[in-house]
Each structure stands twice: as C-alpha cells, then as structure tokens.
C-alpha cells in the first residue's frame, strides 16, 4: 500500500518535489497536491515575461495534466487548505472533504506585502505575485493607465518594465538610495538605473511612500518628503511574506517562515516545509533555486536516503527589465577582501569580482553575464584562483587558456 503524502501548494517547489520523488520512488507514496490557484503549476519566474508580452500565459505551465496523471498524483487546484489537524493527521480543504495524510509537505510560498499606508485599500492598488495579478496588470497597461510601482527590487523593476513596454507611463519609487540593494553594489545599481531609465521608466530613489490619495480609486501617490505623483494605479512590489498561517494555527513552530531542520522537517514529526514558506537556519529564501535544492533533498529523504540540506549559496542570475544582471556571494566586498572591477558605463557593462584568501567569494555583473555560472561555480567550489587571477575577469575561455 502506498503511503498517503499530501502537498499543500501547487507552485514551483511542489512540482519539483513531485518530479524528483517520482523519479526515485514511484509508487511508494500516494501523492495528493492541494493548490489554491485555479490552474496547473506554472513557472512563476516567467510571469515577468508574460507581463512584458514575451511569453503567452498558457506556455508557462511546468507540466501538462497528463504528466501528473501518469505519476498517479491526485491534483486538486482551485482548492484552499484551511486547517491541519496534526493529531488526526488530516488536512481540511474549503468546500471539500478532509484528506488524510501520513506525511505532509507545506509548499505555500509567499504573499506580496501591501504597505500599511493610508489609501492602500483603494481600488486600483495591486500586487505582482500570481497569474491573476498579471491579468490585472495587462488590463491596466492596455488602457495606458498611469502607474506608480512601489519597490525597486527585482519584482518592482519587472513590473515597471512590463507595464512601460505595454504602453503605460510608469514611475518607480524606491525607499533606498539604490536599486536592488540586496544584490548590487552602488556602481552596479547606478548603471542599472541608467539602463532602465533609457526604457522610459522614471525612477525615484530615497522615496518613502506616505499616502495614496483618491476618493474611491487611486488618484495620486504622495511621498514622505511631499513629492506627489498623479496615478491611476499603484503596484506594491515592496517585499514578500512567507505564508505561514496554516502551520502556525496547527501549532507547528514558525518564525518569519515555517522552521525546518536539515531534513526539511518542521517541529512536528512527518510534517515538512520547503520553498519560500520555509525557514532553514534562520533564512527564508525568496528565489527558486534554493526551493529546488530543498525539494531534491526532501525527495531523497522521503525515498529513504540519508539526505540533508545545509543551506544554499544564493545567486541572482536574471534579466531585469531587459538588462542582464548577475550577483552572488559577497557582492559588496567585506573588510579584508579585494575587489577587481571593470566598468564601461557607456557600453552598459560592469563587472566586479571579490577575492578573499585567494578564493572568489562574490561577483556582480551587469550587461555581460556570459561567464556568470562559471563565477558561481568558482564561488561554490572555493577553488583557489591565484593561477587564473589575471585573466579571470575576462572570462572562462581566456582564464583556462592561460
Ligand atoms: C513575477 C515574479 C518573478 C520572479 N522572478 C524570479 C527570478 O527571476 N528568479 C528567482 O529565483 N525567483 C524569482 N521569483 C521567485 C520565485 O517565483 C519563487 O521563489 C518560487 O515560485 C517559490 O516557489 P514556492 O513553491 O515556494 O512558492 P510558489 O511558487 O509561490 O507556490 C506556492 C503555492 O501555494 C499556494 N498556496 C498558498 N497557501 C495555500 C493554501 N492554504 N492552500 C492551497 N494552496 C496554497 C499559492 O497560491 C501558490 O500557488 C519571482 C517571483 C515572481 C512573483
């Protein structure tokens, strides 16, 4: 008899877990996936491309319905899990019968934060997290609505780019003094700002959103320093919060995320959490690669292997608003490190490599990211770089030929 394994959430981590688990232990578990989004699991990262009109929404599905069927997975989408009864080992689902489990995996992801400012509940205030949000943003862009995007991280930049590309006048406001401050040093962020502004997006830094004005709909956004912008819509892209309510209400230990150990197990026996909802050694990752690494480890653990997760070295390798950006490790350069920098602003290129104790410990690239994965490999492997130091900046082929 297959053991009943229930997965809550039909996002990217869930799809990866089912893929990995059925590759190594097909039939060991009777798997059910309960997800509240009304469609098959899709590649959330590609929502930015859908918004930018570069990919069709139906092309971002991770797996066809037949793929799930072939693996015997019971798929319930458009269904909200409302309660975990840990004692009875049952999951309650809104409007459906409860479902029993022997093992439960929480992959509930995160929700977009809405800033707590006056007017944030007005009609015309939106977020950018799922495909329903994208449909709303595309409708705004089709009507060329004037939009203010709040947040200058990856999501804010992607939202601004997609909306501007589709024809909306866009202003992006960011609280900090530089864009993507968690991934970029000051020169890289300044170059990114210049390249994004060239695409017709207005960017305001040190901009603290204080008030959204309007009778019943958004009419203007006011900053703490008094600056005011007319707007017909506001998109909050100012951070995410892990979805932990289900776990917390079941008495499962929660901090910012659902606390898990190196087996991705929560404080409750047989209940696991992976992806953006999980907190491992104090870290909640907001990127897909750590979610996939956790899914692979958990699949092996559930298959009976001795697998454990020690954390992820986070790298950001993406196109931000049409500009290639890569960042990994210590991208600022801590005390005692050395930085090797190549900067060609007019050409739209910036490269910085951080070296500590003869090893590459961080990198930031804007524009030319062709060698990004090689730099990441060097950072992760902690390989000594002294023999290739002179050529390393110019890429793998030159360094390996030297
Ligand atoms: C627009 C956008 C662009 C991004 N770009 C990048 C990028 O370039 N690179 C990168 O690394 N990461 C990127 N990310 C982040 C990446 O998408 C996430 O890290 C990844 O999706 C996390 O996977 P997950 O399975 O943990 O969460 P999700 O994919 O969010 O899946 C969680 C699912 O659980 C569902 N759920 C929650 N609660 C319940 C419940 N009670 N009952 C049933 N279902 C529930 C949610 O609705 C959701 O469908 C981007 C995110 C967005 C929104």
Average pLDDT over residues 32-54: 95
CA 177 to each of CA 180, 181, 211, 395: distance values in angstroms, whole numbers, following the listed order: 10, 8, 20, 31
Tell how far the Cα of 8 is from the centroid of ligand 1, in angstroms.
13
Q: What per-residue confidence (pLDDT) applies to 226?
A: 96
* Contact (Cβ atoms closer than 8 angstroms) between residue 4 and residue 28: no
Positive or negative, the CA dihedral 72, 74, 78, 81 is negative
Tell how far the Cα of 347 is from the centroid of ligand 1, in angstroms.
34
**Atom 14 of ligand 1, residue of closest alpha carbon:** 45
* pLDDT tens per residue across span 106-136: 999 999 999 999 999 999 999 999 999 999 9
**Atom 34 of ligand 1, residue of closest alpha carbon:** 9
Average pLDDT over residues 145-158: 95
Q: What is the pTM of this model?
A: 0.93
Query: Which helix (H) or strand (E) element contains residue 87?
Result: none
pLDDT above 70 covers what percent of the chain? 100
**Atom 5 of ligand 1, residue of closest alpha carbon:** 45
Measuring from each residue's beta carbon to the nearest atom of ligand 1, which residues come in under 6 Å? 8-14, 34-37, 44-45, 47-48, 80-81, 107-109, 128-129, 154-155, 158, 243, 246, 275-276, 286-289, 291, 318
In ligand 1, the atom with minimum distance to the C-alpha of 80 is 42
For the chain, give the number of residues. 402
In ligand 1, the atom with minimum distance to the C-alpha of 14 is 25
Reported as a pLDDT band with limits 50, 70 and 90, residue 166 is confident
* pLDDT tens per residue across span 193-208: 999 999 999 999 999 9
Average pLDDT over residues 36-44: 96
* pLDDT tens per residue across span 283-303: 999 999 999 999 999 999 999
Does position 55 have pLDDT exceeding 80, yes or no? yes
Q: What per-residue confidence (pLDDT) applies to 360?
A: 96
* CA 164 centroid distance within chain: 22
């Amino acid at each position: 008899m297959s053991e009943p394994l229930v997965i809550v959430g039909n996002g990217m981590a869930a799809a990866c877990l089912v893929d990995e688990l059925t590759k190594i232990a097909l039939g060991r578990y009777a798997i059910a996936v309960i997800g509240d989004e009304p469609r098959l699991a899709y590649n959330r990262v590609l929502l930015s491309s859908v918004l930018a009109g570069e990919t069709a929404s139906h092309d971002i599905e991770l797996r066809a319905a037949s793929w799930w069927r072939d693996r015997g997975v019971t798929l319930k989408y458009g269904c909200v899990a409302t309660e975990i009864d840990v004692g009875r080992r049952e999951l309650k689902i809104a409007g459906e019968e409860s479902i029993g489990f022997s093992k439960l995996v929480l992959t509930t992801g995160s929700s977009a934060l809405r800033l707590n400012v006056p007017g944030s509940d007005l009609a015309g205030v939106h977020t950018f997290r799922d495909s329903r949000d994208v449909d709303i943003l595309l409708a705004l862009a089709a009507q060329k609505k004037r939009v203010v995007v709040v947040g200058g991280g990856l999501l804010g930049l992607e939202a601004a780019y997609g909306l501007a590309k589709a024809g909306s006048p866009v202003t992006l406001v960011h609280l900090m003094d530089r864009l993507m401050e968690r991934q970029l040093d000051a020169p890289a962020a300044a170059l990114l700002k210049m390249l994004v502004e060239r695409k017709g997006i207005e960017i305001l830094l040190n901009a603290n959103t204080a008030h959204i004005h309007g009778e019943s709909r958004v009419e203007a956004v006011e900053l703490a320093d008094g600056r005011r912008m007319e707007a017909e819509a506001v998109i909050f892209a100012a951070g995410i919060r892990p979805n932990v309510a289900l776990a917390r209400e079941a008495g499962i230990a929660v901090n910012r995320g659902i606390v898990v150990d190196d087996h991705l197990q929560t404080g409750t026996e047989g209940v696991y959490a992976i992806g953006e909802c999980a907190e491992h050694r104090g870290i909640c990752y907001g990127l897909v690669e750590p979610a996939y690494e956790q899914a692979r480890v958990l699949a092996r653990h559930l298959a009976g292997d001795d697998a454990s997760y020690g954390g992820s070295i986070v790298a950001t390798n993406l196109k931000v608003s049409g500009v290639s950006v890569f960042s990994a490790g210590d991208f600022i350069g801590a005390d005692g490190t050395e930085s090797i920098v190549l900067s060609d602003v007019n050409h739209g290129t910036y490269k910085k490599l951080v070296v500590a104790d003869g090893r590459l410990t961080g990198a930031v690239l804007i524009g030319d990211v062709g060698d990004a994965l090689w730099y990441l490999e060097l950072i992760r492997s902690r390989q000594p770089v002294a023999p290739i130091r002179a050529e390393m900046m110019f890429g793998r082929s030159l360094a390996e030929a030297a």
